[in-house]
């Protein structure tokens, strides 16, 4: 397995979410979020994926595009989801839901086709009392693959409340 592209980003997760999407497609993000997708912290459209966060601030995001499915290294992650994603234009962007100008969006090229995206989450219970700071971290791994159902590969353990 080879990593073809990688980036470490800080994405403004306004409304506790950010998106991976084909640059030329505009899906209705509001329709993605249901009780089930909120619980899973992942909402999936055809060409857009919404990733829920625990903070309404800028969050660290690592992205890696692989030539094949990455190793299943779930031990250090609290929650791991996987879904399919269609790229139509060859340009993909990562953005917060209120990021307005194209300059505020992280972009990269990805040949048109079908991909799998594995979203791994860690540090979800590390927020400060005011919920502005934390050690939450989000990793997106992307590789070519035929469409398949959305799966939760590792479930987040309930925390004492």
96-132 burial by CB neighbour count: b if 16+ within 10 A, else e? beebeeeeebbebebeeeebbbbbbbbbbeebeeeee
What domains lie within the chain, and their CATH numbers? 3-154 (2.60.34.30)
Please give the pLDDT value at position 100. Answer: 55
**Placement of tokens 């992307």 in the chain:** 142
Q: Tens digit of pLDDT for each residue in 102-128?
A: 545 688 999 999 999 999 999 999 999
pLDDT for position 8: 93
Phi, psi of 18 (to 5 degrees): -145, 170
Instruction: Report percent pLDDT > 70 for the chain.
Output: 93
pLDDT tens for residues 43-72? Answer: 999 999 999 999 999 999 999 999 999 999
| Mean pLDDT, the chain, integer | 90
User: Between the CA of residue 125 and those of 12, 65, 78, 79, 133, what are the distances in Å?
Assistant: 19, 27, 10, 12, 11
Q: Which of 105, 99, 81 is nearest to 7 (CA)?
A: 105
């Amino acid at each position: 397995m080879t990593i073809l592209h990688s980036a470490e980003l800080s994405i403004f997760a306004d409304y506790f979410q950010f998106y991976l999407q084909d640059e030329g497609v505009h899906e209705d993000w509001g329709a993605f979020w249901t009780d089930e997708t909120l619980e899973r912290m992942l909402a999936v459209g055809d060409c857009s994926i919404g990733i829920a966060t625990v903070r309404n601030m800028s969050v660290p995001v690592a992205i890696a595009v692989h030539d094949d499915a990455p190793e299943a290294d779930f031990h250090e992650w609290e929650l791991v989801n996987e879904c399919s994603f269609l790229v139509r234009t060859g340009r993909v962007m990562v953005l917060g839901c209120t990021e307005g100008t194209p300059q505020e969006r992280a972009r990269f090229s990805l040949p048109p086709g079908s991909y799998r995206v594995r979203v791994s989450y860690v540090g979800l219970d590390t927020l400060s009392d005011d919920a502005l700071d934390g050690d939450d971290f989000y990793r997106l791994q992307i590789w070519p693959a035929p469409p398949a159902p959305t799966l939760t590969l590792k479930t987040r353990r309930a925390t004492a409340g």
